[in-house]
Amino acid sequence: MIDCQHNQKRFFASMIPLFAVLLIQIASGCVSGRPLSLWNDGAPARNALVEYVNAVTDEDSADYIPVKSRIAVFDFDGTLFLETDPTYFDWMLFSHRVLEDSNYHATDEMISAAKAALNGRLPKLDKSRERMVSQAYQGMTLDEFDAYVRDFMAEDQPGFVGLKRGEAFYRPMIEVVDYLRDNGFTVYVISGTDRLTVRPLLEMLCLPPAQIIGSDSSIVSDHQTGDALDYVFVKGDTLKLGGENLVKVLQMNKVSAIVREIGAKPVLAFGNTMSDASMLNYTINGNPYRALSFMLLCDDLEREYGNMKKADDARNDCARYGWIPVSMRDEWKTIYGDGVTKRNHPAAKK
């Protein structure tokens, strides 16, 4: 059984200096213990969210939303978690599998794709790219794959000092998740990364597995032959990864996943790229309740491997679609917490 309290304590242990400073500020009257303390004073996105939450949780407000309908959806990579060192966690895991795992014999196609990923250049998103990722772990039991992900999480994050791969959460966004749950929201993560990869990463948030939705690869019995419809699972069977990509949960597939797996329209959505656009638009359009969508901008070049062109494009998309922009550079006091510093990384876009 997952010990969520232990995971959270371990994750936030390095935040003690930040908390100490905050307590001193509160004692001296500098701050009032307000929510989202890792956000700068006057941050527009923070203010918009707090005003919204105050309105929709007030039973006397015209914007009141019953608890059962307070649903918030978050993208994972680039919204809650690092995706720029130099790219997504799942592709760094794939590159490790293909280029560093002596027990795995990769194809030339995989090797080429893995090397490109290490240089921050992912292959074009298509069926062949997702097929390679699924095939890389074919034959692993679910326990073996879970352990494989956790071992990789324990490695140092190469572009930072003082950060493990599994610790690379945006701490102001973790505050948002906790703030919403404290106010009666049910939080779901809707990720383009495979859900079996995302689950161990998200243990820190203590989300039930049913609230973690991601891309899917086939799962088979070790004794299964042929079509799954023709096989009956029996005592002694072991589940393994089948090596076939079933769905990539990006763009319109995020909306389909919400409909299938949640069965209710969110009132809050958070993303960071146009692959989240459908989810953000679905949330704010035709909603019976007041709804907001937020778009994170990768505009921090000092504490993060930002990309100003992408950030500027995202800001323009916010104006076009009615999303609220979130500037990592201008609105956050910290990204990964004290004790974490960025290395001079060649994948940074300046």
- Clarify whether residues 272 and 144 are in a common domain: no
Shared domain for 79 and 28, answered yes or no, is yes
Is residue 2 scored above 80 in pLDDT? Answer: no
Give 17's pLDDT tier (boundaries 50, 70, 90): very low
Query: What is the share, in percent, of the chain residues with pLDDT greater than 90?
Result: 84
Instruction: Judge whether residue 26 has pLDDT over 70.
Output: no
Same domain, 210 and 265: yes
End-to-end CA distance of the chain: 44
pLDDT-based confidence at residue 85 (cuts at 50, 70, 90): very high
Q: For residues 224-230, give the mean pLDDT.
A: 92
pLDDT at 350 over 50: no
Please state which of the ranges 30-34, 151-155, 199-203, 248-252 shows the lowest mean pLDDT: 30-34
At residue 22, the pLDDT reads 40
Residue 99 lies in a domain: yes
When pLDDT is averaged across residues 180-206 and rounded to a whole number, the result is: 97
Q: Is 347 inside any structural domain?
A: no
The set of residues, in sequence order, having a beta carbon less than 8 Å from that of 113 and lying 6+ positions away, is: 94, 98, 122, 123, 129, 132
Domain final position from 211, 245, 279: 245
d(CA 100, CA 191) in angstroms, rounded, equals 26
CATH no. for residue 324? 3.40.50.1000
Judgement on whether residues 79 and 213 belong to the same structural domain of the protein: yes
Same domain for 193 and 320: yes
Q: Is residue 348 part of a domain?
A: no
Give the separation between CA 118 and CA 295, rounded to whole angstroms.
Answer: 26
Structural domain includes residue 230? no
Quick check: 192 and 250 in contact, CB under 8 A?
yes
Same domain, residue pair 121 and 196? no
Q: How many residues does the chain have?
A: 350
Residue 216 in domain: yes
Q: Share the mean pLDDT of the chain.
A: 91
Would 273 be classed as within a structural domain?
Answer: yes
**For residues 225-241, average pLDDT:** 95
pLDDT at residue 347 tops 60:
no
pTM of the predicted model over 0.85:
yes
If one counts the domains in the chain, the total is 2
Are both 240 and 262 inside the same structural domain?
A: no
Q: Is residue 93 part of a domain?
A: yes
Model confidence at 52: pLDDT above 60: yes
- Listed in order, strand segments (DSSP E) in 263-323 are 268-271, 292-297
**Are residues 15 and 126 located together in one domain of the fold?**
no
Residue 20 has pLDDT above 70, yes or no: no
Q: ∠ at Cα 167 (344, 339), nearest 5°?
A: 55
Percent of the chain with pLDDT over 70: 89
Identify whether residues 282 and 304 lie together within a single domain.
yes
Do residue 251 and residue 240 come from a single domain? no
Tell me which of 10 and 88 has the higher pLDDT: 88
Closest CA relative to residue 275, chosen from 117, 84, 133, 78: 78
Domain boundary among the residues 245, 276, 304 is at 245
265 lies in the same domain as 312: yes
Give a yes or no: residue 100 inside a domain. Answer: yes
> Of the residues 185, 211, 245, which one is the last residue of a structural domain?
245
Q: Confidence class of residue 9 from pLDDT cuts 50, 70 and 90?
A: low
Residues 27 and 54 in one domain: yes
State which residues form the domain around 155. 89-161+235-245
Segment 153-182 mean pLDDT: 97
